[in-house]
Structure 1
Amino acid sequence: MSLFSRSSSRGILPGFGLTLGVTLLYFVVIVALPLVAMLYKSANLGFADFWTIVTSERALATYRITVSTAALATLLNAMFGMLLAWVLVRYEFPGRRLLDAIVDLPFALPTAVAGLALVTVFSANGWFGRYLEPLGIKVAYAPLGIALAMMFTSIPFVIRTVQPVLEDLASDVEEAARSLGASNWQIFTRVIWPAILPAFIAGCSLSFARSLGEFGAIVFISGNLPFETEVMSLLVFIRLDEYDYPAAAALATVMLVTAFLMLVITNSIQSWHLRYAERN
Structure 2
Amino acid sequence: MSEDNQILTLYSLSDSTGQTAETLSKAAIRQFRHAQEIKYVPLPRITRQEQIDKIIKIMEQSRPCMIAYTLSIPALKEYIDQQAALFKIPIVNLLDPLIQTISKQLGITPPRNERGMMHELDEEYFKRIEAVEFAIKLDDGKDPKGMEKADIILVGVSRTSKTPTCMYLAQNYAMKVANNPLVYNVAPPKELFEHKDKCVGLKIRPEVLHDIRTARLQSLGLPAHSSYADFEQIKVEMDYADRIIEELGCPIVDVSHKAVEETATEIMYLRFPKPHSKELK
* TM class by smaller structure: under 0.3
TM-score normalised by L of structure 2: 0.22
TM-score normalised by L of structure 1: 0.22
Q: Which has the higher strand share?
A: 2
With a CA cutoff of 8 Å and minimum separation of 6, indicate the structure with the bigger relative contact order: 1
Q: Which has the larger radius of gyration?
A: 2
Q: Which has the higher helix share?
A: 1
